[in-house]
Structure 1
């Protein structure tokens, strides 16, 4: 699109609010799982599976919904998505078993597809040179997680924690009414690229799409996984109270979400690939220190033994997590800027695929965190997992950049007839 449409900023504002409301539902279990774990006495892996339930359904549904949004108005699909999510929230007070919580988690996970629908809705309104900023502002709706971390502790004080489900259902219904009344419709004169559905799937055969998905698996998937994992981690590793753990996690969520708009602006100005590479290096350094478990070392001296205690206290841990959150926020916006540069007419299908695999990071990583914790018996095992994932991302990006540079050199050589004898 050559020019930004009228009412584009209103559409962006309403879309961001709707995404924030749905995201708060999507990570509802991040706070409720603490109470469920106490009630059902869950192991680390069982907790990981419970936290992953809403994430997995929301992630997998992004692929078909992304393709469908190329043919059916994303605004209409978004309305239906919110309608379908509300009954699952109303059922929450009546669930008493672990399997029941898993099934309800899968149901309310429908709220996770709001991101794909929002991306498809927002990109139609803005010109190419504003896509990074627009998608960055929209992505700041991740701050909707703050709604859960602020509201739920307050609600639990005067409501049984299970009755927070109907409360959230009422809030989502209110958001639905606001969206129906205020979110503008795409003007009829805006052209829509609607090829055969098979053609929509063709980019998924390209290695580049899978690379983008891997990058998003880290910058978004690990962000969601940390939202789910941090409250219980703070309580176990640092013996904090529930309210303190939620407050620290809220700090991480809010700061990481709000810088996403800045990430979009930086990607517009300097290029998404440069932003991503810088983000990965910052996270790698922080994760190196976070991965190191509390250690006591005894050095046998000539006259006496010297005992060294190496441990990251709660304040240094929070600073490192804060830096990672900022870097992830910048990276989430820049990945989608890069996607739009390569696939401007397929943001539904390609964007849905990348969002799906990124979302799967939010459900697979908590399980891996729980597995690492149970097998190693140390709390920092989760960060060892993230360090390994990031190392794979950086290796793939390094070879991809080198291949692109080589291809550019070949193209330049051919253009200057260097191959002619």
Structure 2
């Protein structure tokens, strides 16, 4: 590492790497890969804890029962989860922009330390059933800090890996984070099984030392890249590109469904089928585990088959699965409901991996268009890499809003009809729309066999 010549003297410390070129085979096979993997594993650990804290209230609502002095209705609990999801989604925007502004390692340390706030708040709130509901919602919303970690982590790791390995690397990073939803539910199940439904405070207490451990790991293992620079104007301008909004729509369908149903699954089993907390927690943990572990497979399939093809298949299957869930709810068939949900979590995991692979592929195609138009190769690649890293985070932010929609949909359907069947029907229709958009934009062959027009090059990047 050599000191960077530039305006920021702070970027000359030993934690900063001044030369990083993963597309250079010699560099990557020599010093590049070990450094990238070291940063990846530390990033996964921090993001995992972040996801666990973000989803901690999906477990704690199972402890909010009359026997423990709580009087919250199912509609209020769905509202609580919606607010926590919303805060996490919104925070993904500033978290994404923080990586180039402060450095990936530096921001990981800050964002991990901030997780202490919602964890301590949860520890006290779950022991005080007399807390006014509005105050409960406000303080629980700080758990959204954990949701922001995903975007900054993905934007950071994207810069470390070559294009040919991004699908697998981003899938591992995201899947390792996503499984935090399942981990916190396992912790909740263990607390209920070993102690009682009155011992909910042990769940956040369990995470306090883990946050400190993640801080130490990040401090010792991570780096900052000097070439990852803030380009807010360019990044914001990229949001005017239609591909940004198209990919955001698709990610609402995949990740929004994963995080929304991951938060709500246990509460659905409790409110829709009347299961006891220990039963709901024991079943609910399976869904996020499946969806998280399968996400890297979605990235790998996208690397080999094309992100758009995998995404199209996923949305068609999700629409079918939503129809089965409607039937399961209407017929009160718990086994069918659980089985269909397991399939749905599998599909969302595959779709999360494939859609996230599509994003850097699109911007890599844009770089080739710019090079063909005469822009210097290094300049085009550096600019599009900066923008694609930010787009990963910003699209992640929009996609997370889908989780808000899922929980709001459940709340409104339950309040109006006493069942969630209508919500699942609406979700199925949305998945069909996403499938149509995927086919129409990224897979449908153009009527005129033009020669590598820029728009054609981008839209065929994922075939």
CA apart distance, 1:91? 2.5
User: What is the rounded CA distance, in whole Å, between the counterparts of 2:137 and 2:448 in structure 1?
Assistant: 50
CA apart distance, 1:214? 0.9
Alignment of 1:180-195 (within 5 A): 180-181=219-220, 183-186=221-224, 191-192=227-228, 194-195=230-231
2:247 aligned partner: 212
CA apart distance, 1:335? 1.0
**Please, which of 333, 355, 359 is the counterpart of residue 339 of structure 1?**
359
1:143 aligned partner: 179
Structure 2 residue matching 1:355: 3-state secondary structure: helix
- Closer, same or farther in 2 for the Cα pair 1:375/1:340, shift >3 Å? same
User: What is the rounded CA distance, in whole Å, between the counterparts of 1:405 and 1:64 in structure 2?
Assistant: 38
For the pair 1:106 / 2:141, whether they are aligned, the reply is yes
CA contact (8 A) 1:63 1:356 kept: yes
User: What is the rounded CA distance, in whole Å, between the counterparts of 2:280 and 2:329 in structure 1?
Assistant: 20
**Please, which of 314, 324, 339 is the counterpart of residue 279 of structure 1?**
314
**Please, which of 434, 449, 452 is the counterpart of residue 393 of structure 1?**
434
- Closer, same or farther in 2 for the Cα pair 1:225/1:413, shift >3 Å? closer
**Please, which of 304, 319, 333 is the counterpart of residue 339 of structure 2?**
319
**Please, which of 62, 77, 80 is the counterpart of residue 92 of structure 2?**
62
User: What is the rounded CA distance, in whole Å, between the counterparts of 2:328 and 2:134 in structure 1?
Assistant: 33
For the pair 1:169 / 2:208, whether they are aligned, the reply is yes
User: What is the rounded CA distance, in whole Å, between the counterparts of 1:49 and 1:77 in structure 2?
Assistant: 30
Select between 263-272 and 63-72 the one with higher mean Cα deviation: 63-72
Aligned-residue CA RMSD in angstroms?
A: 2.3
CA contact (8 A) 1:66 1:349 kept: yes
CA apart distance, 1:127? 1.0
Cα deviation per residue 1:347-397 (whole Å; 9 max; x = unaligned)? 342112211111111123201211011112223233123213213322332
1:29 aligned partner: 57
For the pair 1:13 / 2:38, whether they are aligned, the reply is no
**Please, which of 165, 169, 175 is the counterpart of residue 130 of structure 1?**
165
- Closer, same or farther in 2 for the Cα pair 1:371/1:70, shift >3 Å? same
CA apart distance, 1:187? 5.8
Flag structure 1 segments of 5+ consecutive residues without an equivalent: 296-310, 415-421
CA contact (8 A) 1:288 1:387 kept: yes
Structure 2 residue matching 1:70: 3-state secondary structure: helix
CA apart distance, 1:43? 3.4
1:48 aligned partner: 78
What TM-score, normalized to structure 2?
0.79
User: What is the rounded CA distance, in whole Å, between the counterparts of 2:47 and 2:124 in structure 1?
Assistant: 27
CA apart distance, 1:74? 1.8
Moved >6 Å (runs of 4+): none
Cα deviation per residue 1:182-239 (whole Å; 9 max; x = unaligned)? x231465xx33544x2111111001211111111111111111111211122223333
2:450 aligned partner: 410
User: What is the rounded CA distance, in whole Å, between the counterparts of 2:417 and 2:256 in structure 1?
Assistant: 23
User: What is the rounded CA distance, in whole Å, between the counterparts of 1:235 and 1:94 in structure 2?
Assistant: 24
User: What is the rounded CA distance, in whole Å, between the counterparts of 1:178 and 1:72 in structure 2?
Assistant: 18
User: What is the rounded CA distance, in whole Å, between the counterparts of 2:54 and 2:266 in structure 1?
Assistant: 16
What TM-score, normalized to structure 1?
0.87
Flag structure 2 segments of 5+ consecutive residues without an equivalent: 1-21, 126-130, 364-384, 455-463
User: What is the rounded CA distance, in whole Å, between the counterparts of 2:208 and 2:241 in structure 1?
Assistant: 40
CA contact (8 A) 2:325 2:337 kept: yes
Cα deviation per residue 1:48-83 (whole Å; 9 max; x = unaligned)? 220122221111111122123223212211211121
For the pair 1:352 / 2:393, whether they are aligned, the reply is yes
CA contact (8 A) 2:318 2:344 kept: yes
- Closer, same or farther in 2 for the Cα pair 1:407/1:104, shift >3 Å? farther
**Please, which of 417, 423, 432 is the counterpart of residue 382 of structure 1?**
423
CA contact (8 A) 1:67 1:348 kept: no
CA apart distance, 1:180? 1.5
User: What is the rounded CA distance, in whole Å, between the counterparts of 2:237 and 2:448 in structure 1?
Assistant: 24
